[in-house]
Amino acid sequence: MGGFGHVALLLRISALIDALNERVGKTVYWLVLVAVLVSAGNAIIRKVFNMSSNAFLEAQWYLFSAVFLLCAGFTLLRNEHVRIDVITGRLSPKAQAWIDVFGTVFFLLPMATVFLYLSWPVFVRTYVHHEISTNAGGLWIWPARMLVPIGFTLLTLQGISELLKRIAFLAGKGPDPITRHDARAAELELAEEIRKIAEAKG
Q: What is the pLDDT at residue 196?
A: 76
What does pLDDT average to over the chain?
Answer: 86
Lowest mean pLDDT of 39-48, 113-122, 148-157, 191-200, name the range.
191-200
CA dist., res. 156 & res. 108, Å (int): 8
CA dist., res. 176 & res. 93, Å (int): 7
Greater pLDDT, 199 or 45: 45
Listed residue (113, 141, 136, 105) closest to 125, CA to CA: 141
Average pLDDT rounded to a whole number, residues 134-142 = 86
CA dist., res. 178 & res. 136, Å (int): 48
Winning range, highest mean pLDDT, from 10-14, 17-21, 47-51: 17-21
CA dist., res. 202 & res. 198, Å (int): 6
Identify the band that residue 1 occupies on the pLDDT scale cut at 50, 70 and 90: very low
Q: What is the pLDDT at residue 141?
A: 93
Listed residue (114, 35, 115) closest to 67, CA to CA: 35
Q: What is the pLDDT at residue 172?
A: 86
Please measure the distance between the N-terminal and C-terminal CA atoms of the chain and give it in whole angstroms: 55
Report the alpha-carbon angle 72-76-78, nearest 5: 115
CA dist., res. 118 & res. 116, Å (int): 6
CA dist., res. 106 & res. 39, Å (int): 39
Q: What is the pLDDT at residue 185?
A: 57
